[in-house]
Amino acid sequence: MKVKAAVAHSAKQPLSIEMVDLEGPKEGEVLVEIKATGVCHTDAYTLSGADPEGLFPTILGHEGAGIVVEVGSGVKSLQKGDRVIPLYVPECRHCKFCLSGKTNLCQAIRETQGKGVMPDGTSRFSLDGKMLHHYMGTSTFANYTVVPEIALAKIREDAPLEKVCLLGCGITTGIGAVINTAKVQVGDNVVVFGLGGVGLSVIQGAKLAGANMIIGVDINPNKKALGKKLGMTNFVNPKEIEGDLVPYLVNLTNGGADFSFECIGNVNIMRQALECCHKGWGTCVIVGVAGAGEEISTRPFQLVTGRTWKGTAFGGTKGRRDLPKIVDWYMEGKINIDDLITEFMPIEDINKAFELMHEGKSIRSVVIF
Ligand code: NAD
Ligand code: AHE
Ligand code: ZN
């Protein structure tokens, strides 16, 4: 079938709206009509050319929601009409990783996903007879996409897809980083670096967890108001303080953060995020995605003296198990999605979403098909 997609022909070029060819679902696959998709910083990161797994031409997008149109042979858990959120971290429930109970990082299809193809090694998308790569196993910048059954979370019918699409990445990642990865406890002091869709959701997660101080750090002063609304207790603009940021934060938290979260993707800030943690027990959670070839460093003494560096993908969330519950939280008013949406737009305007992100003028743009 012909579908409308925003095609990334090569790195650093604007997306091009095209009618592309999409093959139907094969065994274990599902055809989904995407109704809405958010634009995450990771889409911009891959488009920038900094992603070692960035393959072109491709159809980006990994923060979508839609409706099942057709299921391939062998698909048992989904049927036509089901509301779904595509998962870039699938949940096969059979692999060593799924069965470990220690991680959400299902590896059943990770290799082919990283190569931009479906589990059978081929792509369902093409343009003028030339193969287009899938992206993160989801490719939600198209009004129809094909996704493996194990990479779809079925959600309740009454959830507004133009809102809950953001649970496909940024909001779930931020809240999950706090609850699943850090396991923040009542009374903890938390520092969040970068107040985009992810960092602001760390703030909401920290508030839900009962944190004491929730300190937001961002160089964009316009992030302060929404941070405060979501539960931030202190805002720090590194450009406005006197002296170095790390001692400033250690002093502000009376010894250091119990937990810090890097939600930018900047390796220099990752170091500051570790070093502002409390001696003896503070933990820094890396959420931001850094470019190819970049590395983090610190004095090993920082670790010897009890600080921990860890990371999180999709906030440690097992999508098929957890997303229905997180959608319920939204429907019950426990988490805020609406205030993080700064723009709705048609797919024809998707390049504007990237511009707004780079100009610091958006939190999340949502494309509605
Ligand atoms: P975003 O662009 O919306 O937000 C980034 C924020 O960081 C902005 O508010 C910006 O002003 C701020 N910032 C930039 N440089 C800064 C600096 N030097 N000091 C302080 N603040 C600074 O991005 P997002 O969509 O919220 O994503 C954040 C990061 O998380 C990205 O790297 C993204 O790729 C990554 N991410 C990771 C996961 C995961 O599963 N690990 C999931 C989603 C996103
Ligand atoms: N392809 C990059 C890594 C990108 C990355 O870290 N992706 C995160 C999700 S970001 C969502 O906005 C993730 O889930 N990683 C786990 C995984 O298995 O990819 C690279 O550096 O190669
Ligand atoms: Zn994302």
Q: Give the Cα separation of 11 and 25 in Å (integer).
A: 28
Q: Give the Cα separation of 318 and 104 in Å (integer).
A: 5
- The response to whether residue 39 sits with its C-beta less than 6 Å from ligand 1 reads no
How far away, in angstroms, is 289 Cα from ligand 2 center? 7
Tell me the pLDDT band of 301, cut-offs 50, 70 and 90: very high
Q: Check if the beta carbon of residue 313 is closer than 8 Å to that of residue 333.
A: no
216-238: pLDDT as tens digits: 999 999 999 999 999 999 999 99
- What lies within 8 Å, CB to CB, of 63 at 6+ separation is 37, 38, 39, 40, 140, 165, 166, 168, 169, 170
Instruction: For ligand 1, atom 7, name the residue with the nearest CA.
Output: 194
Residues of the chain above pLDDT 70, percent: 100
Instruction: Calculate mean pLDDT across residues 102-116.
Output: 98
pLDDT of residue 294: 98
How far away, in angstroms, is 89 Cα from ligand 2 center? 9
Q: Give the Cα separation of 362 and 168 in Å (integer).
A: 18
- Cα-Cα-Cα-Cα dihedral of 85, 86, 87, 88, to 10°? -140
Tell me the pLDDT band of 320, cut-offs 50, 70 and 90: very high
- For 86, 206, 228, 343, the CA distances from 161, given in Å and listed in that order, are 12, 25, 26, 15
- The response to whether residue 56 sits with its C-beta less than 6 Å from ligand 2 reads no
Tell me the pLDDT band of 251, cut-offs 50, 70 and 90: very high
Q: Give the Cα separation of 59 and 9 in Å (integer).
A: 9
The model's pTM is 0.98
**Catalytic positions, written as ranges:** 40-42, 62-63, 92, 95, 98, 106, 110, 169, 364
Q: Check if the beta carbon of residue 356 is closer than 8 Å to that of residue 43.
A: no
- What lies within 8 Å, CB to CB, of 21 at 6+ separation is 1, 2, 3, 125, 126, 127
Instruction: For ligand 1, atom 35, name the residue with the nearest CA.
Output: 288
Instruction: For ligand 2, atom 13, name the residue with the nearest CA.
Output: 313
How many CB atoms are closer than 10 A to CB 89? 25
182-229: pLDDT as tens digits: 999 999 999 999 999 999 999 999 999 999 999 999 999 999 999 999
Same fold for the pair 2-168+337-368 and 173-313: no
- The response to whether residue 193 sits with its C-beta less than 6 Å from ligand 1 reads yes
Q: Is 268 left (phi over 0), alpha (psi -120 to 50) or beta?
A: alpha
pLDDT of residue 282: 98
Q: What's the start-to-end Cα distance of the chain, in Å?
A: 17
Q: Is 287 helix (H, G, I), strand (E, B) or coil?
A: coil
pLDDT of residue 237: 98
Instruction: Calculate mean pLDDT across residues 111-115.
Output: 98
Give domain 2-168+337-368's CATH number out of 3.10.129.10, 3.90.180.10, 3.40.50.460, 3.30.930.10.
3.90.180.10
Question: What is the number of helices (H) and of strands (E) in the chain?
Answer: 12, 17
Tokens 């194990």 correspond to what residue? Answer: 150
- The response to whether residue 312 sits with its C-beta less than 6 Å from ligand 1 reads yes
Instruction: For ligand 1, atom 27, name the residue with the nearest CA.
Output: 41
CATH level 3 topology of 173-313: Rossmann fold (3.40.50)
Atom number, ligand 1, closest to the C-alpha of residue 286 = 41
Tell me the pLDDT band of 311, cut-offs 50, 70 and 90: very high
Q: Are strands 214-217 and 283-286 parallel, antiparallel or unpaired?
A: unpaired
Task: Round the CA-based radius of gyration of the chain to a whole number and report it.
Answer: 20
Q: Are strands 283-286 and 308-311 parallel, antiparallel or unpaired?
A: parallel
How far away, in angstroms, is 63 Cα from ligand 3 center? 6
Mean pLDDT for all residues in the chain: 98
Domain map of the chain by residue range? Answer: 2-168+337-368, 173-313
- What lies within 8 Å, CB to CB, of 148 at 6+ separation is 28, 29, 30, 90, 109, 118, 119, 137
Name the residue among 104, 120, 16 with its Cα closest to residue 60.
16
DSSP 182: I
Q: Give the Cα separation of 118 and 122 in Å (integer).
A: 6
Instruction: Calculate mean pLDDT across residues 60-87.
Output: 98
